[in-house]
Chain A
């Protein structure tokens, strides 16, 4: 009987040790779909280097990423925008101090159907199109035809940046189509000849045509030197100053190797490689 008890104690301790190991080596990352491709590439590379660390990754949007940090359901929350005052207050009431890390830059580029003849729009024209004041392509120098305005859902981080930088807080016209993702915008614009939409730089493809803004083409260079007017930082938030695996993962992303992966994922590294 005593031997049995001893065995049981050993087993329990062993199980607990194992469980502890599993917890220590697990990293949960949640949030913005814009940051997702970067996080995915980085997580794969990081896990290849550190086989004892398990990273679980999911999307859900910037708001969800920050919420996960505040609730403690994730170690890292991705966001394609900076934290809002409301969220800071909420974190404060729960005794959480979210720490931002700017891990990449992104430009938001207006896009049109490849057959559209318009190549350049000013910020004011973009605003008027999204306000519903300009309804026809001929007003901005294109072939006549109704402009189909395509926007993102009001809670997306990309929409938030568009609203702050292009709309200057004014409202997008109610008749604008809304699409739940960057990929959805590409899909909709590619199939609609009169459409205009906006996507992150990483989502540009041959199916759609990027439009210059104030005469500047949206590229990595013009974003880094500040010439392209619609750009933003992409962030990873941690709960307090990061420790252990969280710290080394953040350091990995901010290293030269990590920033190469940022570039591979279609976003812009925070420093010149």
Chain B
């Protein structure tokens, strides 16, 4: 075979592989919509998204997922409030302040935390954290939004930290040295130069961390309490979208209204993560660091 031919074959081989994975994914999306859209024969879109009651097995059934959507959003936001400062500051410490030896030990540990199975974290939340926060805050029940957010923050911190750390680490040394040479202190350099220069990377890290939190199923199933109500405080139990799908799918009769409703919840969840990714893309494009002169 001629070298050009080999080149062609390799090219088409890679094209085939790329097509295969893309087709598989698009088929899943297609399936999701094909199974979820039929719920609109039973309820209107407005009733589905803004309905207050989720009683899928009653006769007649109610398919309002507003409490579930609110549950997902609240849990994700609260976990963001906890995990973003922790993750980003840990990253700054590791990349800028910590002695090399400390960083060499701590960074692998943080990355190891990312590989903790979510079911273990969920179990920990249910058995250890729930009784603890129940006594600490003197509230009736420990399985609630706060508990779930705390557990999700545990999962998001390693993601946020390790990706931000990479972004901060890859800021050109010349920038840092220039800032120090102009008489700025180390702290001023971090706040005014390093962090702005790595902002796009940090934003990507935050959004990846949060999209992990919104899609996470096991933790919210075990620790969030599972009440399909509109939460009034952070200590109310909630039932986020993925928990509903996981808890009910096995029992929903095949091709029933309930079955289609659960797939429609899947669509809503898909839209959420899709928006997250769009925002991440936009931010990393908008705040892209081009060369060293654009600060």
Residues of chain A at the chain B interface (Cβ within 8 Å): 60-64, 67, 86-87, 90, 145-146, 148, 153-156, 160, 171, 174-180, 187-188, 191-192, 194-195
Once the chains bind, are B140 and A153 in contact (CB under 8 Å)? no
By a CB distance below 8 angstroms, the chain A residues around B254 are: 67
CA distance A221 to B286 in the complex (A): 73
Residues of chain B at the chain A interface (Cβ within 8 Å): 53-58, 67, 126-127, 130-131, 134, 140-143, 221, 225-229, 236-237, 239, 247-248, 250-254, 256, 258
Partner of B142, one of A63, A86, A178, A191: A191
Min Cβ gap A182→B in Å is 14
Partner of A177, one of B58, B227, B253: B227
Once the chains bind, are B140 and A87 in contact (CB under 8 Å)? no
Partner of B53, one of A61, A174, A192: A174
Complex A-B: 11 CB contacts under 8 Å: A61-B250, A64-B251, A148-B140, A154-B56, A155-B252, A174-B228, A174-B229, A175-B229, A177-B143, A178-B226, A191-B131
Given contacts A154-B56, A171-B55, A187-B127, contact A178 B227 (CB under 8 A): yes
Given contacts A171-B58, A174-B229, A178-B226, contact A61 B251 (CB under 8 A): yes
* A84 to B, closest residue via Cβ: B253
Once the chains bind, are A177 and B247 in contact (CB under 8 Å)? no
* B236 to A, closest residue via Cβ: A175
* B61 to A, closest residue via Cβ: A154
* B252 to A, closest residue via Cβ: A155
Q: Number of contacts between A and B (CB, 8 Å)?
A: 84
* A157 to B, closest residue via Cβ: B251
Once the chains bind, are A187 and B253 in contact (CB under 8 Å)? no
Once the chains bind, are A63 and B253 in contact (CB under 8 Å)? yes
By a CB distance below 8 angstroms, the chain B residues around A62 are: 251
Once the chains bind, are B227 and A155 in contact (CB under 8 Å)? no
Once the chains bind, are A156 and B127 in contact (CB under 8 Å)? no
By a CB distance below 8 angstroms, the chain A residues around B57 are: 154-155, 160
* A180 to B, closest residue via Cβ: B247
Q: Is the interface of B mostly helix, strand, loop or mixed?
A: loop
Partner of A87, one of B237, B247, B253: B253
By a CB distance below 8 angstroms, the chain B residues around A67 are: 253-254
Partner of B227, one of A90, A174, A180: A174
CA distance A60 to B67 in the complex (A): 26
Partner of B143, one of A63, A86, A188: A188
Once the chains bind, are A63 and B134 in contact (CB under 8 Å)? no
Once the chains bind, are A64 and B250 in contact (CB under 8 Å)? yes
By a CB distance below 8 angstroms, the chain B residues around A156 are: 251
CA distance A146 to B248 in the complex (A): 28
CA distance A148 to B143 in the complex (A): 11
CA distance A86 to B229 in the complex (A): 29
Partner of B140, one of A61, A63, A146: A146
By a CB distance below 8 angstroms, the chain A residues around B127 are: 187, 191
Once the chains bind, are B142 and A153 in contact (CB under 8 Å)? no
Known A61-B251, A155-B57, A155-B247; further 12 A-B contacts with Cβ < 8 A: A63-B251, A64-B251, A87-B253, A90-B253, A146-B140, A154-B58, A155-B252, A171-B55, A177-B143, A177-B227, A178-B225, A191-B130
* B225 to A, closest residue via Cβ: A177
* B246 to A, closest residue via Cβ: A180
By a CB distance below 8 angstroms, the chain B residues around A177 are: 141, 143, 225-227, 237
Once the chains bind, are A153 and B247 in contact (CB under 8 Å)? yes
Top 9 nearest A-B pairs by Cβ distance? A155-B251, A178-B226, A63-B251, A174-B229, A154-B57, A61-B251, A175-B229, A177-B225, A146-B140
CA distance A178 to B248 in the complex (A): 11
Min Cβ gap B263→A in Å is 15
* A192 to B, closest residue via Cβ: B141
Once the chains bind, are B227 and A176 in contact (CB under 8 Å)? yes
CA distance A176 to B251 in the complex (A): 20
By a CB distance below 8 angstroms, the chain A residues around B126 are: 187
* B59 to A, closest residue via Cβ: A169
By a CB distance below 8 angstroms, the chain B residues around A86 are: 253, 256
Once the chains bind, are B141 and A148 in contact (CB under 8 Å)? yes
Once the chains bind, are A145 and B140 in contact (CB under 8 Å)? yes
By a CB distance below 8 angstroms, the chain B residues around A87 are: 253
Once the chains bind, are B141 and A175 in contact (CB under 8 Å)? no
Given contacts A174-B227, A177-B227, contact A194 B140 (CB under 8 A): yes
Partner of B141, one of A60, A90, A187, A194: A194
Min Cβ gap B217→A in Å is 12
Given contacts A148-B140, A154-B56, contact A178 B250 (CB under 8 A): no
Min Cβ gap A170→B in Å is 10
By a CB distance below 8 angstroms, the chain A residues around B225 are: 177-178
Min Cβ gap A164→B in Å is 12
